[in-house]
Amino acid sequence: MNVLIMTDLEGITNVDSYYAVWPQTEEQKEEAYRARQDLMRDVNAAVAGFIDAGVDHVYVADGHYAGKNFIHEMLDERAEFLSRDVWESYVTERKVDIHAEIGSHSMAGTLNGFLDHSQSSNAWFDFKFNGKSYGEIFHSAAFVGAYDIPIVMVSGDVTACEQARQVLGDIETAVVKRGIGRNKAVSVPSEEARRRIYEAAKRSVKLKDKIKPLKVHLPAVVTVTYMRTDFCDEAILSDKIHRIGPRTVEKYIDKIENFEDMLRMNAPR
């Protein structure tokens, strides 16, 4: 059995400020470096859990922003790193059996969700699929689910883990912190957080045949409400995208073949 671990940065243990995730100054870059070290420690806890559960191959991918967050010399040697242009093919060619998300955050508009957003903090106010609002855990689940792969484990703040269970059912979750408003968070102690990740990863392997892959209803309508009307002006330059409100567009999709199928909106993200 093989697992793919996808990572994000907002839901990593000890990451507790916006600038750790989006550094601007030199001082903030030092903070961001510490966040990247914490990312590697969370990832390694999950890798250890999956290896101890008997998984054959543990593939890991770097999902936050441009995918340049990993400190490769810190990665557990038993994991195999997949670059940005490669990981999708491991899903579409069904080289993995289960999927895990480390460092997740809740969807845009979640109260006390640390750095809550759906794909874009700057441009997207809301994302709906067939009329219901979802965030990035759903986006991943719909993509891997199209290839019969279930998400069995998620780590992140309280709200990310709650939403994961709302969307995916009784999966394993590892809560590593709680948000205080949007821009602050309090983490559980590092050792405890990594123990939770390790245990959740280890237990989640047993869910392979219990958790069903997410199968979305197709054809589907995808609706995005932007922060500003000009983003919407740009989006509708595509003839497949229709404006249904000053800041809201929608499009129809009849398949999910790649990760971007439901997300591409021809406008800033």
3-state SS, residue 35: helix
Q: Does 139 bind Zn ion (CB under 5 A)?
A: no
From residue 43 to residue 72, what is the string marking binding to Zn ion with x (rule CB under 5 A)?
---------------------x--------
9 vs 253, beta carbon nearer Zn ion: 9
Q: Which residues contact 226 (CB under 8 A, 6 or more apart)?
A: 123, 124, 125, 232, 235, 247, 248, 249, 267
Instruction: Pick the stretch among 5-13, 195-203, 225-233, 243-251 that binds Zn ion (CB under 5 A).
Output: 5-13
First to last CA, the chain: 35
Size of the site for Zn ion (CB under 5 A): 3
Q: Contact with Zn ion (CB under 5 A): which of 3, 5, 6, 8?
A: 8
Q: Is the CB of residue 11 less than 8 Å from the CB of residue 46?
A: no
In whole angstroms, how close is the CB of 164 to Zn ion at the nearest point? 15
Instruction: Pick the stretch among 4-12, 41-49, 138-146, 221-229 that binds Zn ion (CB under 5 A).
Output: 4-12
Q: Which residues contact 60 (CB under 8 A, 6 or more apart)?
A: 4, 5, 7, 43, 47, 70, 75, 79, 80, 81, 82
Q: Which residue is nearest to Zn ion (CB)?
A: 64
Q: How far apart are CA 98 and CA 141, in angstroms?
A: 11
88 vs 250, beta carbon nearer Zn ion: 88
Given the rule CB under 5 A, which residues bind Zn ion?
8-9, 64
